Structure 1
């Protein structure tokens, strides 16, 4: 939450973070126009509607309607933002130093949301630096914190996705599958709509199943991911779904189908600004081209040269 953030702005921010349209948030018993009026600050929701919105946004009612941040927190939020930028720019060591110092100045109860964001940043820095066991410990702690604080599904799924990724890199594929499947089952039991966080976890799990050799389950989840990505209309999520589905098909020897999907993924990632992700998906495209029934080494070489230039 930010200073002077209205209820309407908060609903809009949480809706976008969850990858939901106004129509998706409104279903099944509200209208998209009513949600639009809420976000514009032209309607005050009843307690019943507030509870429905909180459930669909994956947060508790007190978080949705809670107090705005105190002015003295704004400076701390600026420091957090700078650390997050440093991490995104690849300077995880500098970000970790800033975040660790910031955590020492925070109260876990008085600055609940800020403290959670700082702890998450520290875990992400540790993962980026390759300290996977320590990162997994931090993500496990954050997962428990999500439960005790009643945090929303978006936070929980994002944490589990990172945790699943760490366990995968540590070689503990069974545990990676367990934590991911449990989280997805909880989301399904709560009848939550698909979100970007849900799809990111699904994509990570598809990779784990593929690596473990369970291509049947990976194929099923890949089809599910594509269907859900098309519903929420998030281009990055759809690109990831195509990428993972292509990898599964390629492992199954279905190269023509794999090529069709990986080309779609490349086209989507080329629209964005994540050069690293685009380079990686081009590498995947080159691999499929070289190992398909009709190899195309010239096209694969061109893709790899583009990737090398970006990654260098």
Structure 2
């Protein structure tokens, strides 16, 4: 709200334009003396008074309080929706340019919710482009702008920050952000279903990467239970996509494929191309788990082409790791090694977990070619990357591979050390060493729910 003097001048101008006296404007709720005091800037009007005067003057509360025509905020919100559609169907660079213009407009008009929405959009664009530090910065700025809002309003910004840390290989911190927010939501009476489903779905990935399968399964159960209360179809589709990961971890490939099919159908209807590409990616992984390698290759190439067309460099690199594994299993070692080597030339921009995965595959290829020295070197480099990220489940498997290699080459003591290290990572299945799992949401009986 503007200063009282500015509001007073605005009321006086609008009253004069409409040919009203102070008494005519004031009646029946106020006095002419109050209008005189208000117009002289000697009193700060209440929201109730301004809403009454706005109705009498044929304007809006917002325009009277701030001088901004209400249509500007409406136009800006519509433009933000257009930018979101551009990100879904076009390139992240194009959408980011759109969001930057809208952020400047929102700042010029001092529209806080629209500024926050533009920053969230810029964070999503940066995630897709693989610019993780920029993504984290945009999400943190949005969260700061929304600091005075209830926690559910800040959930998207917090989720965005957590995803940026997850993609950078900082699994424990991603879990910490999501778990602490879930706890606060569930213990504060702010258990908003959409915010909870968003956060439960987001925490599944880091849980699985850390080997905490029990927690991942529990988060999936809670998300599925809350899903009927969620109106946003994109959010429900994203939940199904993440729930599929828990089915995969349990070896339930048919259930995983069914869950992905639900997500895929929703994404097609919503024309969300990046998310649809993620479904092709995961279905390719499911088919690879079933041994359907030719079909898996087709799905993964489809995902890679869709993501590359949108210039989603980070996700494209991650799909190529999965594709290289399928090519290796098909016996096309040179093609797989070429794909992985090109990824490693990019440095760690595609995240420690996936760089570790690339080194692991190169180690397997080297072993299958009989080059044990190169295999050991890749396994050791993969271990360093995965230890840095805290990807416990992958570490245990890698220690087994390294131990087997060392044992076959006669280094029994070194092999035992590798096995012990792997067992250490498997010592506490279902935990993240972060303390108790997040509290479950308080369930409230719905009217008419009895007997169903």
Instruction: Give the alignment's TM-score, normalised by structure 1.
Output: 0.64
Distance 1:209 1:143 in 2: 24
Name which of structure 1's ranges 158-167 and 108-117 shifts more when overlaid on structure 2: 108-117
In structure 2, the partner of 1:70 is 69
In structure 2, the partner of 1:195 is 193
Distance 1:309 1:103 in 2: 31
Distance 2:258 2:71 in 1: 53
- Report the structure number with the largest CA radius of gyration: 2
In structure 2, the partner of 1:290 is 288
Change in CA separation of 1:184 and 1:265 when aligned onto 2, cut-off 3 Å:
same
Q: Deviations over 1:119-141 (max 9, x none)?
A: 33333333333221122122123
Check if 1:167 corresponds to 2:165.
Answer: yes
Change in CA separation of 1:106 and 1:310 when aligned onto 2, cut-off 3 Å:
closer
- How big is the shift at 1:176? 0.7
* Aligned residue pairs, count: 244
In structure 1, the partner of 2:141 is 141
- How big is the shift at 1:185? 1.3
In structure 1, the partner of 2:174 is 176
CA RMSD, aligned part only?
A: 3.4
Does the CA-based 8 Å contact 1:154-1:195 persist in structure 2? no
Q: Deviations over 1:85-143 (max 9, x none)?
A: 44334343344344445544554894222222233333333333322112212212322
Q: Please show how residues 92-103 of structure 1 align to structure 2 within 5 Å.
A: 92-103=92-103
Give the SS at the match of 1:121. helix
Change in CA separation of 1:89 and 1:282 when aligned onto 2, cut-off 3 Å:
closer
Distance 1:121 1:267 in 2: 24
In structure 1, the partner of 2:321 is none
Does the CA-based 8 Å contact 1:83-1:99 persist in structure 2? yes
Does the CA-based 8 Å contact 1:106-1:115 persist in structure 2? yes
In structure 1, the partner of 2:131 is 131
Does the CA-based 8 Å contact 1:194-1:232 persist in structure 2? no
Does the CA-based 8 Å contact 1:136-1:166 persist in structure 2? yes
Distance 1:254 1:99 in 2: 41
Q: Deviations over 1:275-306 (max 9, x none)?
A: 432332133223223313xx445654665576
Change in CA separation of 1:123 and 1:301 when aligned onto 2, cut-off 3 Å:
closer
Q: Deviations over 1:64-103 (max 9, x none)?
A: xx84762472455565455444433434334434444554
Change in CA separation of 1:154 and 1:304 when aligned onto 2, cut-off 3 Å:
same
Does the CA-based 8 Å contact 1:194-1:228 persist in structure 2? no
- How big is the shift at 1:180? 0.9
Distance 1:184 1:228 in 2: 14
In structure 2, the partner of 1:276 is 274
Give the SS at the match of 1:184. helix
Give the SS at the match of 2:227. helix
Distance 1:210 1:158 in 2: 21
Distance 2:252 2:118 in 1: 44
Unaligned runs of 5+ in 2: 1-60, 310-452
In structure 1, the partner of 2:365 is none
Instruction: Give the alignment's TM-score, normalised by structure 2.
Output: 0.46
- How big is the shift at 1:159? 0.8
Alignment counterpart, residue 204 of structure 2, candidates 203, 206, 210 = 206
